[in-house]
Amino acid sequence: MLRGILLDIGGVLYEGSEPILGAVEALRKLRERYKVRFLSNTSRLPPRALKEKLEKMGFGVEESELFTALSAAKLFLQSQKARSYVIGTDEAREYFEDLEGEERYVLVCDAYKNFTYDALNIGFRKLEAGAGFIATNMNRYFKDSDGLSLDAGGFVKCLEYASGKTAKVLGKPNCEFFSLALQSMGLKKDEVVMVGDDIESDILGAKACWLRTVMVKTGKFKPNDLLRGNPDFLVESIADLPKLLEEM
């Protein structure tokens, strides 16, 4: 029996600063019947700022329902009693300022315009000096209001190539990331479905963790994504999700 939904945010609920047509109404219907957790690899904004962005677009979201790659990175660093050199936006760097401990890691987020040579080179030198390597996500790109935009993945690969080290990815498709969300809902894998627009992190990632999946044709979706793997269900947009789930 379906009791919960793991819901990607960017490309599923909104594109850029505008909600997907019918998304606000669809989410309202879904929340009447299912527990919802919002899973996002978005790492430009910390959870509180992301919550505010969603509220401005008409989505009612509790901060406790948000599971982002940034929050996963913070939990990891807290578990290690460590700080990191953060390649990220100013807002992302501020999110980690309260951590205590020695700086033992290099963390790459979606740094937007803070992806400079100097920032990457400092990270490279710290990796060469023995720092551990972590990343919020390996997404190649995302759908912005004016088209596709680079995400963190290419920059992570840059440092992996230069340093010879492989980054530990803390957001999707890490199964631990999905498990944290399930634990917070008190649900099992067969009681939830993952909904997303990214064939790699949302769909194939969730399937590798034994979760059912629904892919939407909004956001970064491209028809040739389906040549790389198949979701369990495919819909035009989140507006079609309530009806689909009623029939499952």
Domains of the chain: 4-41+172-247 (3.40.50.1000), 71-169 (3.40.50.1000)
Alpha carbon 44 to its chain centroid, in Å, reads 11
pLDDT value of position 63:
87
pLDDT at residue 145, as a whole number: 81
Residue 204: predicted pLDDT = 96
- The pLDDT value recorded for residue 55 is 95
Average pLDDT over residues 124-128: 98
| Region for residue 119 given its phi and psi (left: phi exceeds 0; alpha: psi -120 to 50; beta: otherwise) | alpha
For residue 216, list its beta bridge partners. 235
pTM: 0.87
Looking at residue 215, what is its pLDDT? 98
DSSP 20: P
By the 8 A CB rule, do 69 and 109 touch? yes
DSSP letter at 185 equals: H
Q: What is the mean pLDDT of the chain?
A: 95
> Which tokens is 205 given?
């990632």
The 3-state DSSP class for residue 215 equals strand
For residue 29, give the nearest of 248, 241, 247 by alpha carbon: 241
Is the pLDDT score of 247 beyond 90? no
From 125, 90, 96, 80, select the one nearest 110 (Cα to Cα). 90
Task: Give 64-117 pLDDT, tens digit per residue.
Answer: 899 999 999 999 999 999 999 999 999 999 999 999 999 999 999 999 999 999
- pLDDT for 17: 87
pLDDT in tens, 190-212: 999 999 999 999 999 999 999 99
Strands 14-15 and 18-19, by their bridges, are antiparallel
Q: What is the pLDDT of residues 104-119, one digit of tens each?
A: 999 999 999 999 999 9
3-class state of residue 153 by DSSP: helix
Is the pLDDT confidence value at 15 over 80? Answer: yes
**% residues pLDDT > 70 (the chain):** 100
Burial of residue 79 (number of CB atoms within 10 Å: 0-12, 13-18, 19+):
exposed
Kindly report the number of other CB atoms within 10 A of residue 108's CB atom: 32
Q: Is pLDDT of 143 > 80?
A: yes
Contact status, residue 39 vs residue 181, Cβ threshold 8 Å: yes
Strands 82-87 and 212-216, by their bridges, are: unpaired
Indicate the pLDDT class of residue 248, thresholds 50, 70 and 90: confident
Instruction: Provide the 3-class DSSP secondary structure of residue 189.
Output: helix
Mean pLDDT of 154-164: 98
Q: Which residues, in sequence order, are bridge partners of residue 213?
A: 194
